[in-house]
A and B are shown apart, each in its own frame.
Chain A
Amino acid sequence: DAGVIQSPRHEVTEMGQEVTLRCKPISGHDYLFWYRQTMMRGLELLIYFNNNVPIDDSGMPEDRFSAKMPNASFSTLKIQPSEPRDSAVYFCASSLDPSYEQYFGPGTRLTVT
């Protein structure tokens, strides 16, 4: 199995621009998670999906962030408009069950200038 796939691996953009991060979970995993990691706040859960349906988005910082999962093999996390404080590494993870092991993708390092 190829594991969780994320793209792009690096993104540099200017403040105010729209940013779209992409994720392909491991085939057969019904749960997909989006995390953000910074030095100050560590690893934070933003949102997670079960069978393509958003279950808990309480970690989404504000309305500028949105996430979709149109099918079992693809999810996007969008930031519009982006701000410098959004600079972080964004990870996607998937699992068979939220109480079981989660497998992480390589992450997208976002820099907003």
Chain B
Amino acid sequence: QKEVEQNSGPLSVPEGAIASLNCTYSDRVSQSFFWYRQYSGKSPELIMSIYSNGDKEDGRFTAQLNKASQYVSLLIRDSQPSDSATYLCAASNQGGKLIFGQGTELSVKP
């Protein structure tokens, strides 16, 4: 099992809908969790970090962490075409390294 796994997509949602991005992780990563957004040809940009079980909201973004089920998700409310990008899930392991998933491509259709 990979340490961090994501569905590569593409995930397509209509403008204004809720986009739900999911990520599962193994026992080898368990410390901190992050969502990055990467536009084509650009560098990853941090959107959310979450360290404890539950939900964390920031504007239109909500990160959810469930350590018992070993998954972390990102919800984007009122999706906009400008949200179209690849979303990378990342988790830190006990050695302090950040392990990235392969990324989920999101397309928001006007």
Which residues of A pack against B, CB within 8 Å?
33, 42-43, 45, 48, 55-56, 91, 97-107
Q: Are A104 and B31 in contact (CB under 8 A)?
A: no
* B contact residues, total (Cβ < 8 Å): 20
Q: Are A56 and B97 in contact (CB under 8 A)?
A: yes
- The 10 A-B pairs with the shortest beta carbon distances in the complex, nearest first, are A98-B96, A104-B43, A43-B100, A99-B92, A42-B102, A99-B32, A104-B44, A101-B46, A107-B43, A99-B31
Chain B facing A: main interface SS: strand
Q: Are A100 and B45 in contact (CB under 8 A)?
A: no
Q: Are B98 and A98 in contact (CB under 8 A)?
A: yes
Pairs A–B under 8 Å by Cβ, sample size 9:
A33-B98, A45-B97, A45-B98, A56-B96, A99-B96, A100-B32, A101-B46, A101-B49, A107-B43
Which residues of B pack against A, CB within 8 Å?
31-32, 34, 42-46, 49, 88, 92, 95-103
